[in-house]
A and B are shown apart, each in its own frame.
Chain A
Amino acid sequence: MESWRRSPKTFLALGLPPTAWLLLFFLIPIGIVWAFSFGEKVGIVDIDITGTFANYDRAFEAVYLQIMVKSLIMAGLTTLVCIAVGFPVAFLITFAPARWKPWLLLLIILPFWTNLLIRTYAMIAVLRTNNGFLNMGLEAIWDAADAVTGLFGLAALGAFQPWDILYSDAAVLIGMVYVFLPFAVLPLYSTLERLDTNFLEASLDLGAGHLKTFFSIVVPLAGPGIASAVIITFIPALGSFLQPDLLGGTDSQLIANVIERQFLSANDWPFGGALSFLLMYITFIAIAARAFLTRPNERRGSLPA
């Protein structure tokens, strides 16, 4: 960076447009919302910024606190499943033959090429009770099992009862995992890719099996990558509103749905602003926790994410 400072013209030419963009379209709007969160509604569109904390007080009412806690739990579960599923996937891609790797990675990022709304709608087609792909698959298995038990003269299993999974918290969770899984796989992959395979060979050489090596060597050394994957999954998961909206039931709404409602149907921008900022503070805490967990002192041998 030293050399950049010596040519301030280049520095300005490159730095000014993005800075102006961020200032104009990110910092100023977010500042306005922050100011609104200390305001009061005085008309349909008019807001008086009075410096009141009433909006924050209201955010801590039991009904909103419950939704906040539920949002944290849902985001946490999503993250957990994404890491549990994403780690083996990233590990397999890392050790796949070199000519397969680009294609496997392409498969991971392929969902990004489709609009999120359409992908979420597609999940409805998968999960719905009548003619959903999940239930059709389950029915086929059920029928096959029924035929087998019939073959052995056992009692029939009875008619197939479709699983009413759509419009429930479970459906929301499935939808969120589906959407955020690539976010978990990519940082895990980039960490595992740079892992010195000598560590794995040394572990095998010392007599450990593959499972032992995976849990004693690979997982700890991938720590910073796991932390990145957790953050990068957890933060957007905490703010997801499309999945609860489309896949959830009436009681499946999360904090982002409440915020959306304040800005749109309820037209209560001060309260929406306060909720938004509370959500953002939680995100800050998560990022700080990551920085703390991956601080580069004692773990120099493990890889940055």
Chain B
Amino acid sequence: MSDDAIVRIEGVTKTFAGNVTVVDRVDLRVGRGEFFALLGPSGCGKTTLLRMIAGFELPTDGRIVIDGEDMSTTPPNQRPINMVFQSYAVFPHMTVAKNVAYGLKVEGVAEAEIGPRVEEVLNLVKLKGYGARLPNQLSGGQRQRVALARALVKRPKVLLLDEPLSALDAKLREAMQLELVRLQHAVGITFIIVTHDQKEALSMADRIAVMESGKIRQLDTPERLYEYPSNRFVADFIGKMNLFEGKVVTREGARLLVDVTGLGRISVPHEDDIAVSIGVAVRPEKISLYRARPADSAITLQGIVTNLAYLGESLQIFLETESGNQLIISQTNVSRSGSGAPRKGENLWCSWQAADTLLLQD
């Protein structure tokens, strides 16, 4: 992928006001035509990183290479990159068509070419016939489409999206997620999206960089991030996770024997070397519940149901074990009859496969 990278971030650091480091020696490669997400809690530096790619902030250290050219200090109006702002920033004093044409006009595109290109991109974002409207005559979702059209019409090498869906209501947000993926396939432009919403990132992106305190904690595909988080932060940030403290006792070939607090000794498949003190984790939906002790040799625990949360498509069961461990178990709502659903105060057995257990260091 090294030659295929459209954006290369090399050791980029951003320090504000003398000593606040917001982005800390980040290395990153974004492939041509990729849908890439920067995911993290607020204040993790993802927006600052995006603004450095756009050129609104200059890195304190490191290089930003766009399509093979070092653009670390290139002003934003000379970068082959366009951005969709969180607030959309659609110019309120211009019609939709004028907003979209603005970038082409300043670029010096011939007047005869501007009209068709604006028309084409408005079709693409499903705003055909809205050209003469003013932004305040549009809904939030439509304004966002204008912001998208205005950026896409420039045919940038990279499109940056800063929390593009955060201002939309839940239903519209889901529709826009699909829409953005469709658009990205249609235009073939590299998208880099900043979001704090893990569902958004998981559903749209080809790859996700999870950031915390200015650093990338893990960079992987959505599936790998969910199934194989490489550290506690990512495990906890993406989805729900049951976490235990453990100590490695010994290695047995491709497996590790781990002493887990409140669980006893378990054998978990793990190839790589790992520290002695570790986190042992399992996703709530990997755990099965039983009224009687299950016969198989999987990891088994007994506990009392302390609480239940009905979420519609699933039921969350909060279990407290004899040793005081709290577990969340998620059961998919398969059938309406729902007979045999766990009740509060019930004593149940739960178990999961050793292969679904994760060992997390730091």
**Which of A165-211 touch B at CB < 8 Å?**
196, 198-199, 201-209
Pair B77/A221 contact, Cβ less than 8 Å: no
Pair A206/B92 contact, Cβ less than 8 Å: no
Q: Distance (Å) between the CB of A207 and the closest chain B CB?
A: 5
* The residue from A196, A209, A223, A301 contacting B77, defined by CB atoms under 8 A apart: A209
* The residue from B89, B93, B102, B151 contacting A220, defined by CB atoms under 8 A apart: B93
Pair B82/A206 contact, Cβ less than 8 Å: yes
Say whether B106 faces chain A, with CB atoms less than 8 Å apart.
yes
Pair B76/A201 contact, Cβ less than 8 Å: yes
Pair A196/B102 contact, Cβ less than 8 Å: no
Pair B92/A301 contact, Cβ less than 8 Å: yes
Whether A301 touches B91, Cβ cut-off 8 Å, given contacts A207-B77, A209-B77, is yes
Say whether B280 faces chain A, with CB atoms less than 8 Å apart.
no
Pair B91/A205 contact, Cβ less than 8 Å: no
Q: How far is the CA of A300 from the CA of B85 in the complex (A)?
A: 19
Pair B154/A302 contact, Cβ less than 8 Å: no
* The residue from B54, B55, B92, B103 contacting A221, defined by CB atoms under 8 A apart: B92
Residues in B with CB closer than 8 Å to A205 are 54-56, 76-77, 81-83, 151
Q: Distance (Å) between the CB of A264 and the closest chain B CB?
A: 49
Interface size on B, residues (CB 8 A): 28
Pair B135/A301 contact, Cβ less than 8 Å: yes
Q: How far is the CA of A210 from the CA of B212 in the complex (A)?
A: 34
Residues in A with CB closer than 8 Å to B87 are 196, 198
Interface residues in chain A, defined as those with a beta carbon under 8 Å from any beta carbon in chain B? 196, 198-199, 201-209, 212, 216-217, 220-221, 223, 298-302
Q: How far is the CA of A209 from the CA of B106 in the complex (A)?
A: 8
Whether A300 touches B82, Cβ cut-off 8 Å, given contacts A205-B77, A207-B154, is no
Q: Distance (Å) between the CB of A276 and the closest chain B CB?
A: 39
Q: How far is the CA of A129 from the CA of B200 in the complex (A)?
A: 73
Closest to B150 in A: A206
Pair B77/A300 contact, Cβ less than 8 Å: no
Say whether B181 faces chain A, with CB atoms less than 8 Å apart.
no
Pair A204/B77 contact, Cβ less than 8 Å: yes
Q: How far is the CA of A301 from the CA of B87 in the complex (A)?
A: 12
Pair A204/B75 contact, Cβ less than 8 Å: yes
Q: How far is the CA of A150 from the CA of B301 in the complex (A)?
A: 103
**Which of B120-141 touch A at CB < 8 Å?**
134-136
**Which of B65-102 touch A at CB < 8 Å?**
75-78, 81-83, 85-87, 89-93, 102
Given contacts A207-B77, A207-B106, A298-B136, 4 further A-B contacts (CB under 8 A): A198-B89, A202-B83, A202-B150, A217-B91
Pair B106/A299 contact, Cβ less than 8 Å: no
Residues in A with CB closer than 8 Å to B106 are 206-209, 212
Q: Distance (Å) between the CB of A41 and the closest chain B CB?
A: 54
Closest to B78 in A: A207
Residues in A with CB closer than 8 Å to B113 are none
Q: How far is the CA of A199 from the CA of B103 in the complex (A)?
A: 13
Q: How far is the CA of A201 from the CA of B103 in the complex (A)?
A: 12
6 inter-chain pairs at a CB distance below 8 angstroms, sorted by A residue, are A204-B55, A204-B77, A205-B81, A206-B103, A206-B106, A207-B77
How many A-B Cβ pairs are below 8 Å?
76
Q: Distance (Å) between the CB of B108 and the closest chain A CB?
A: 9
Q: How far is the CA of A207 from the CA of B83 in the complex (A)?
A: 11
Q: How far is the CA of A204 from the CA of B85 in the complex (A)?
A: 12
Say whether B107 faces chain A, with CB atoms less than 8 Å apart.
yes
Q: How far is the CA of A199 from the CA of B85 in the complex (A)?
A: 9
Residues in A with CB closer than 8 Å to B150 are 202, 206
Pair B89/A207 contact, Cβ less than 8 Å: no
Q: How far is the CA of A104 from the CA of B93 in the complex (A)?
A: 30
Residues in B with CB closer than 8 Å to A217 are 91
Closest to B86 in A: A198
Q: Distance (Å) between the CB of B180 and the closest chain A CB?
A: 18
Q: Distance (Å) between the CB of B189 and the closest chain A CB?
A: 15
Q: How far is the CA of A298 from the CA of B136 in the complex (A)?
A: 7
**Which of B151-181 touch A at CB < 8 Å?**
151, 154
**Nearest 6 pairs between A and B by C-beta?**
A301-B92, A206-B103, A198-B89, A202-B89, A300-B136, A208-B106
Residues in A with CB closer than 8 Å to B136 are 298, 300-301
Q: How far is the CA of A221 from the CA of B91 in the complex (A)?
A: 9
Q: How far is the CA of A216 from the CA of B99 in the complex (A)?
A: 11
Pair A199/B89 contact, Cβ less than 8 Å: yes
Residues in B with CB closer than 8 Å to A216 are 102
Residues in A with CB closer than 8 Å to B154 are 206-207
Pair A301/B93 contact, Cβ less than 8 Å: yes
Pair A300/B92 contact, Cβ less than 8 Å: yes
Which among A207, A212, A217, A223 has the highest number of chain B CB atoms within 10 Å? A207
Pair A196/B89 contact, Cβ less than 8 Å: yes
Q: How far is the CA of A203 from the CA of B86 in the complex (A)?
A: 15
Closest to B82 in A: A205
Whether A204 touches B76, Cβ cut-off 8 Å, given contacts A212-B106, A298-B136, A300-B136, is yes
Q: Distance (Å) between the CB of B92 and the closest chain A CB?
A: 2
Q: How far is the CA of A221 from the CA of B93 in the complex (A)?
A: 7
Residues in A with CB closer than 8 Å to B107 are 207
